[in-house]
Structure 1
């Protein structure tokens, strides 16, 4: 979520909303299984609904249909049998429904598809060997990157990272995010005995999260939308909050697929 370069008036709402999200998210991650799967289904449906709202103004029927399809296909994908090729194909359907042909063209269904694939990967990762550790690591990396970037960007300011797409994101906040992610990796190496490569992987994962943030910013800028919705006080919508986590999840899915196929 782009939060750099502004005032501090939203900090209280952000903190309170963040605490609620932490409680819900931490509980689902700890429980795993059905609890995390249910959260993944709900989050997917709401994010696709938000995407449809951004690209197809004033069409509530399509908004709801896109979100419902997103939730249904995610439930099928994470249900018994895992992500079968049939479900992999049909994960794209909600994005196609949300595609407004005059704007963004194929970027919308591709973005929706990436969101759904990232959520699926994160839910399935929890059930793998060592999955709890990896999920916690991903979340800590994204939180550290976001928090460090938020405060560095607002206190230091400076040149913009990509002003045409994300006018509030600064280089100071971007680099601070990398530092924060690297510190998480370093801490796990020193305290947890993780391999040193985790430091580099943490930084790359944070950067992938920032790209996820920028991708959503590009869609909002193209559609003239400030927030994907107002579901979360101080944060906007679920897309505004989880765009970075989705970017990180998609990146790790690709890395894992490449390693598995090597």
Structure 2
């Protein structure tokens, strides 16, 4: 059994998690401008957090780039794709002029944030609420099973130098949970067996997003991207896995027929 200290943040984490789920689920169901606005706000806040981590003194640049990123995503969701793409990357390129330190890290992660945000908006609009919920549930199950399996089972660490709390037991539990979600989608949504493999790959992509953000925090010597969410840190801490998963689906959708077995 894990020690009491391992569970000390559970109440705050659970309450904040329920609130985020309620807001997110409401926006997903509503769709349209409600979901687009939520995506834009989340994108803008994550870019603000990113800049604050990489260049703590750049307060003005963090606000400017965060606002520009969120506004670009919101506008891009209502523009033809060819016009949307340069608009999305403009706030990323602006970081070269506004930041004096860690520009390369900003370019990589800011591009990931705006493209993943845009991808989630397109997923809701093009494939429907059900498949966006599949993506969200897959990432949430990966995170939740990883959290509890790591504390109940423990065992070898995944990458202790970057993320000391993550274990291989939690990592594999996330894959198993994602596979189960894919199996349920076969029944409920009529996909074929490939959705199980895609779901496991989405789980892996979410873990890559998680570990990548952990590496940045470790490099910058910070525990959380911000303190906006009790028990979770910042939005980037909460949505790093979703970023990796959404970006993966955006790319994978160009490589395989997706959703598999549908249409």
| Global fold match (TM > 0.5) | yes
Shift of 1:168: 1.4
> Partners of 2:185 and 2:28 in 1: how far apart?
19
Instruction: Check the 8 A contact 2:58/2:99 in 1, yes or no.
Output: no
Instruction: Check the 8 A contact 2:88/2:114 in 1, yes or no.
Output: no
Unaligned runs of 5+ in 2: 258-263
Shift of 1:131: 2.0
Shift of 1:59: 2.7
Q: TM-score normalized by structure 2? A: 0.90
Q: Deviations over 1:168-209 (max 9, x none)?
A: 111011001101111111122234432111111110000000
Instruction: Check the 8 A contact 1:160/1:168 in 2, yes or no.
Output: yes
Higher relative contact order (CA 8 A, sep 6+): 1
**Is residue 2:142 matched to residue 1:152?**
no
Aligned to 2:132: 135
> Partners of 2:56 and 2:240 in 1: how far apart?
21
> Partners of 1:205 and 1:111 in 2: how far apart?
18
**Is residue 2:39 matched to residue 1:66?**
no
What count of residue pairs does the alignment treat as equivalent? Answer: 252
Q: Deviations over 1:183-236 (max 9, x none)?
A: 111122234432111111110000000000011001100000100011111111
Q: Secondary structure at the match of 1:106?
A: helix
Unaligned runs of 5+ in 1: 1-5
Aligned to 1:93: 93
Aligned to 1:178: 175
Q: Secondary structure at the match of 1:35?
A: helix
Aligned to 2:124: 126
Change (3 A) 1:69 1:191: closer
Which has the larger displacement, 90-99 or 209-218?
90-99
> Partners of 1:118 and 1:205 in 2: how far apart?
13
Q: Secondary structure at the match of 1:161?
A: strand
Which has the larger displacement, 187-196 or 27-36?
187-196
Which has the larger displacement, 77-86 or 39-48?
77-86
Q: Deviations over 1:129-148 (max 9, x none)?
A: x4211101001101111110
Which has the larger displacement, 14-23 or 184-193?
184-193
Q: TM-score normalized by structure 1? A: 0.90
**Aligned partner of 1:115 among 107, 113, 116:** 113
Aligned to 2:261: none
